[in-house]
């Protein structure tokens, strides 16, 4: 049955949803928080066939953008319904901003059902329900799938859980510095898979350019460069930090060592090591295909997906990249574990089937693993099988173009738990998933963000810091100017002054008040 909804978003909330739809950012109006329904409550009635319907927003980019063949979709839907007595319903969302707008309209609708979606739970808190009791009673598979560090991002200051983790604290994303393996071997350069130093990085990069004057060092953006290397010159790396001298939380740009990091990056720029368009929408694949990339300091999937595709094509015979687990500098570990703590699967406050939603997702988190792969790829034996009894690799039966397939509309398991269980039997995607599996929960290779476990209320901070976009823009634009020499580092103090003029003290006050409250300082 298509259930009716009992909770509505008021006019002010709806207008804000509509205004922010294009940017993909939601900040709902503050107001009384809805209480979670009693676990097991059921006041929506049953469909004529006695089955409870749940409606879910797809958690992944669908295997085929136009969605499933109707018969294949119904086959998976019927199988899950038979297993659970719950009928999941998915759909194909519009792409890009139109999809986000559709989601916002569904959240504000009284008639268009939606029982689970993804996003930043702190931005949606006024329109979702806490799920602590529901997880305890119906979601034990979910609860045991994530480490405590990840669950800390789902909790408010009172310890209530508001979502199921989509991301979390990650050790696999930007901690690693990737070196051109064939060049290392051909030139007899030092490489240690356990640990290397910034001095060794510099020596190898200089040798790369001596052998190939067109050799370059790249990253995919400033944030990834900072996440990969900033800790080498600063105590906390790319993390907000607590200044004990005045009892305030401050941005990483204000910590001792950030200016030294910029100075070193400017030195590398002056050496001609960086690709000249590295901060200007550089085409990563084009640079990699040129054969001139020597070092990559940035996001892992640039190598595990984009790079792996090129390596398999053998565009440059023998080209591949390797990384040491740890890169260290004067202040220790260069990398910083990536804390994206509040991305979650959420249940709207108006959903009358919250218990069934948790039961449906808990079914996918069954540690036997079959259920998750079925929800993702389709029917076992037809669309996929395990390679062997370890259940670490999935053999997909690739359909020809235009053939009938199930596209994954009902899958609600994308994230850092299920994605570590198994990988496709595929030389391309296998490398990617293997990297996630090995390193996602290994935090020993990077510095821990100071406040990763603080449940910041993002909506409240956004209201307290109306100039947030200006502050972020200044931080990014001016850092790039310092690195590229457009602005001399002698003006770093002036840069800091401009941040305060832009409202940085509001930023500091907003974060500090919540940090102090959370830590009991």
Per-residue pLDDT tens digits for 27-86? 233 332 333 333 443 444 356 678 999 999 988 878 788 899 999 999 999 999 999 999
User: Among 23, 24, 39, 7, which Cα is nearest to 127's?
Assistant: 7
Q: Does the residue 454 lie in any domain?
A: no
Domain containing 389 — which CATH number?
Answer: 3.40.190.10
In this predicted structure, what is the pLDDT of residue 41? Answer: 38
**What is the pLDDT, as a whole number, of residue 398?**
67
Predicted local distance difference test score (pLDDT) of residue 100: 84
CB of 378 within 8 A of CB of 406?
Answer: yes
Same domain assignment for residues 327 and 298? yes
CA angle 134, 137, 141 (to 5 degrees): 95
In the 8-state DSSP scheme, what is residue 67? -
Which ranges constitute the DSSP H helices of 36-163?
A: 70-84, 96-107, 132-138, 140-143, 148-151
pLDDT recorded at residue 399? 62
Which letter does DSSP use for residue 232 in this model?
G
User: Which residues in the chain land under pLDDT 70?
Assistant: 1-48, 398-402
Please check whether residues 183 and 331 belong to one and the same domain.
yes
- Rounded CA-CA distance 97/100 in Å is 5
| Residue 35 neighbours by CB distance under 10 Å | 9
**What's the pLDDT score for residue 15?**
37
Q: Measuring CA to CA, which residue among 14, 17, 42 is closest to residue 27? A: 17
In a domain, 162, yes or no: yes
Q: In what order do the strands lie in the sheet with 326-329?
A: 195-197, 326-329, 332-333
Smallest Cα–Cα separation from 220: which of 286, 302, 290?
A: 302
Domain shared by 267 and 322, yes or no:
yes
Domain identity same for 79 and 35: yes
Same domain, 33 and 17: yes
- Residues 28, 162 within the same domain: yes
In contact, 66 and 94? CB cutoff 8 Å:
no
- The pairing of strands 343-346 and 338-340 is unpaired
Query: Would you state the pLDDT for residue 60?
Result: 82
**Residue 26 has what pLDDT?**
34
Listed in sequence order, the residues at least 6 apart from 31 whose beta carbon sits closer than 8 Å to its beta carbon are: 10, 126
> Six-digit token pair at 9?
């978003």
Instruction: Classify each residue of 233-271 as buried b or exposed e, where b means 16 or more C-beta atoms within 10 Å of its C-beta.
Output: bbebbbbbbbeeeeebbbbbbbbebbbbbbebbbebbee
For the whole model, what pTM was predicted? 0.83
Six token digits for residue 206: 């200089």
- 174: nearest Cα among 237, 232, 225, 236: 225
- Please tell me the predicted confidence (pLDDT) of residue 42: 44
Q: Domain of 206?
A: 177-339
pLDDT at position 104 is 86
Q: What pLDDT was estimated at residue 48?
A: 63
Tell me how many domains the chain contains.
2
Give yes or no: residues 92 and 143 share one domain. Answer: yes
pLDDT value, residue 110: 76
Residue 272, domain member (yes or no)? yes
Structural domain includes residue 370: yes
Give the count of beta carbons closer than 10 Å to the beta carbon of residue 206.
13
Residue 188: inside a domain: yes
Do both 74 and 143 map to the same domain? Answer: yes
Residue 164 lies in a domain: yes
Last-in-domain residue among 366, 397, 421: 421
CA distances, 174 to each of 2, 57, 230, 437, 443 (Å): 43, 28, 11, 15, 12
Please check whether residues 289 and 407 belong to one and the same domain.
no
432 located within any domain: no
Q: Are residues 346 and 296 in the same domain?
A: no
**DSSP letter (8 states) at residue 234:** S
Distance (Å, rounded) from C-alpha 60 to C-alpha 55?
15
Last residue of a domain, one of 287, 313, 339: 339
CB 441 within 8 A of CB 171: yes
Last residue of a domain, one of 315, 339, 363: 339
| Residue in 287, 342, 294, 354 with CA at minimum distance from that of residue 115 | 354
Q: Are residues 318 and 349 in the same domain?
A: no
CB-side neighbour CA atoms (13 Å) of 441: 15
Beta bridge partner(s), residue 327? 196
The reply to whether 384 falls in a domain is: yes
Same domain? 186 vs 334: yes
Pairing of strands 384-386, 393-396: antiparallel
Instruction: Copy the structure tokens of residue 433.
Output: 């998933």
Rounded Cα–Cα distance for residues 479 and 492 (Å):
9
């Amino acid at each position: 049955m298509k259930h009716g909804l009992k909770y509505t978003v008021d006019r002010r909330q709806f207008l804000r949803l509509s205004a922010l739809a294009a940017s993909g950012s939601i900040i709902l109006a503050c107001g009384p928080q809805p209480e979670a329904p009693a676990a097991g409550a059921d006041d929506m009635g049953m469909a004529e066939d006695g089955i409870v319907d749940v409606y879910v927003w797809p958690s992944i980019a669908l295997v085929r953008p136009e969605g499933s063949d109707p018969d294949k979709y119904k086959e998976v839907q019927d199988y899950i319904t038979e297993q659970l007595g719950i009928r999941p319903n998915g759909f194909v969302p519009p792409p890009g901003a139109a999809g986000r707008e559709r989601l916002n309209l569904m959240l504000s609708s009284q008639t268009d059902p939606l029982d689970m979606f993804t996003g930043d739970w702190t931005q949606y808190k006024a329109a979702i329900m806490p799920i602590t009791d529901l997880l305890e009673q119906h979601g034990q598979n979910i609860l045991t799938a994530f480490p405590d560090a990840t669950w800390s991002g789902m909790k408010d200051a009172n310890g209530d859980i508001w979502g199921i983790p989509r991301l979390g604290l990650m050790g696999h994303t930007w901690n690693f510095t990737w070196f051109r393996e064939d060049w290392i071997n051909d030139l007899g350069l030092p490489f240690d898979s356990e640990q290397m130093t910034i001095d060794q990085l510099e020596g190898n990069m200089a040798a790369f350019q001596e052998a190939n004057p067109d050799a370059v060092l790249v990253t995919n953006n400033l944030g990834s460069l900072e996440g990969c290397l900033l800790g080498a010159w600063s105590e906390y790396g790319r993390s907000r930090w607590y200044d004990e001298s005045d009892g305030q939380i401050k941005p990483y740009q204000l910590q001792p060592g950030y200016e030294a990091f910029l100075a070193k990056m400017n030195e590398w720029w002056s050496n001609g090591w960086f690709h000249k368009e590295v901060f200007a929408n550089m085409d990563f694949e084009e640079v990699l295909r040129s054969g001139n990339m020597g070092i990559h300091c940035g996001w892992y999937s640039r190598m595990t997906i984009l790079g792996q595709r090129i390596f398999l094509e053998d565009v440059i015979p023998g080209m591949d990249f390797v990384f040491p687990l740890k890169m260290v500098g004067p202040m220790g570990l260069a990398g910083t574990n990536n804390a994206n703590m509040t991305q979650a699967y959420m249940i709207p406050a108006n959903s009358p089937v919250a218990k069934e939603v948790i039961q449906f997702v808990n079914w996918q988190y069954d540690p036997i693993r079959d259920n998750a792969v079925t929800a993702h790829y389709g029917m076992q034996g037809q669309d996929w099988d395990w390679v062997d009894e370890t259940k670490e690799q999935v053999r997909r039966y690739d359909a020809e173009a235009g053939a009938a397939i199930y596209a994954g509309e009902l899958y609600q398991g994308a994230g850092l738990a299920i994605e570590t269980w198994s990988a496709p039997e595929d030389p391309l995607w296998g490398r990617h998933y293997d990297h996630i599996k090995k390193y996602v929960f290994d935090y020993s290779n990077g510095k821990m963000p100071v406040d990763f476990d603080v449940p910041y209320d993002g909506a409240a901070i956004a209201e307290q810091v109306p100039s947030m976009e200006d502050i972020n823009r200044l931080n990014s634009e001016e850092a790039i100017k310092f690195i590229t020499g457009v602005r001399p580092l002698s003006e770093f103090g002036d840069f800091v002054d401009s941040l305060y003029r832009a409202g940085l003290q509001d930023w500091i006050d907003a974060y500090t008040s919540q940090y102090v409250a959370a830590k009991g300082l």
